[in-house]
Amino acid sequence: MTFPTYASLRNQLNSGQTTCLDLVRHHLVKIEENNARLNVFLEVYADEALQRAQEIDAKIQAGTAGPLAGMVIGLKDVLAHQGHALQAGSRILAGYISPYSATVVQRLYDADAIFIGRQNCDEFAMGSANENSAFGPTRNAADPTRVPGGSSGASAVAVQADMCQVSIGSDTGGSVRQPAAFCGVVGFKPTYGRISRWGLIAYGSSFDCIGPIAHHVSDIAQVLEVIAGPDEFDSTVSPLPVPSYTQTLTQHQPYRLAYYREALESPGLAPDVRSAMENAIQTWRSAGHTVEPVDFPWLSYLLPTYYILTTAEASSNLSRYDGIRYGYRTPQANSLEELYKKSRSEGFGTEVKKRIMLGTFVLSADYFDAYYTKAQRVRRLIQEQTGTLLATYDGILTPTTPTTAFRIGEKPADPIQSYLADIFTVQANVVGFPAISFPMGQDTQGLPMGCQIMADSFQEEKLLAMSQQLNQELSQ
């Protein structure tokens, strides 16, 4: 199925060929057809979206509509939306209604986007399969017996199954890009600090990024123009001006690209993924790009560094959920200490409790230097080595994931195998650089595969143009 770009839909809206009301009704039909089977939306804002569509149709007729007028968007259940439920896929936030909107959500609203619902996710964005949610697993529309990836799995499926045009997810170690690869769509992670995190439920504060998922790179570029930029509520956001990403998408040129020799030679890489990557490299060389193998001695340190640091940050960030001020509170407590313990034990899921305990361990006095301090030093070394590579090359290519989507229930028994699903995506979060995943065909079972490109810090303009060009060359 071919999905129209937002630019083409906007032309139809402006010319009266279709209306925002028609678009919302179309997506609501798709949700009605698929949501019970795939478990994507935790809440659908049907009446609200229809009312909003009528308002924006009037704005379009009056010539006062915003840059994203009529774009139908789904929100991952980690983004605050004023007056709406927010649970991060967890029981511990049961009943919580957000009193404010995240900066990203407010900017999208001000640009006249239409929110259609709140999407399922791994609890507190911890997972690579969307199996850790308190609301049950989301299923991949390409094969409902398989996972969609995580933690933004439902956000990817919503786009994959035409339930919305764009989803807004979060990416701490690949949580936008990995599900995008599993679902055959485009997922984008910005440079750390390019997009405000105000109103995003925190997992690992020095890793978390908000990123869009869509069918087209051009749609990603248009959304990024709206949501990126300085924010007085988030001191970690860069003050750098936001370029016009859409204006440079068509600037085709030859690029210098690197790929990791160790990645393509890894025994853990599925044969179909390896073959697709090798074919893609050959296609791009034939198109005039320089594509060279490089060695990266820190590959085996990426996942340990990532999990030590993110679990430490999660341990700190999740201490605020105590059953006292909001969310779930156990009815079976006879003392304040028991209230804390039981509320957290009953409210958090297994994976979240595991990561909190791991983080508490690495932050403990006896092990702080041995794990946390050492991991921070390794993180700096990885960042410096990556920066050195990207001073020579325009981008670094890898498969987005080592395999295609695995079956539901297949990996939780072996958590190491589940964590390895992020082996190619975590680097961009460890170093804070931008990365994108775009479709790279299907394997012999008809399951989507993805290719990832990482660029240097704040090179989103180049990254989007490069991925647009490479994606087109791959599709020809």
End-to-end CA distance of the chain: 16
Active-site residue, 175 included? yes
**Tokens standing for residue 4:** 């129209």
Cα distance between residue 76 and residue 200, in whole Å: 10
Active-site residue, 266 included? no
**Tokens standing for residue 462:** 């180049």
Q: How far is CA 59 from the centre of its chain?
A: 31
Q: Computed over its alpha carbons, how large is the radius of gyration of the chain?
A: 21
Cα distance between residue 248 and residue 191, in whole Å: 18
Cα distance between residue 359 and residue 378, in whole Å: 17
Give helix 350-363 / helix 299-317 axis angle, nearest 10°.
100
Give helix 6-15 / helix 217-227 axis angle, nearest 10°.
80
Cα→Cα distances 319→147, 323, 341, Å: 29, 10, 11
Active-site residue, 151 included? yes
Catalytic pick from 76, 189, 411, 462?
A: 76
Catalytic pick from 128, 155, 175, 218?
A: 175
Q: How far is CA 135 from the centre of its chain?
A: 19
Catalytic pick from 90, 98, 133, 151?
A: 151
**Tokens standing for residue 112:** 């006249």
Neighbours of 322 (CB within 10 A): 18
Handedness of CA 332, 336, 341, 345 (dihedral sign): positive
Cα distance between residue 423 and residue 399, in whole Å: 10
Query: Which residues participate in catalysis according to the annotation?
Result: 76, 151, 175
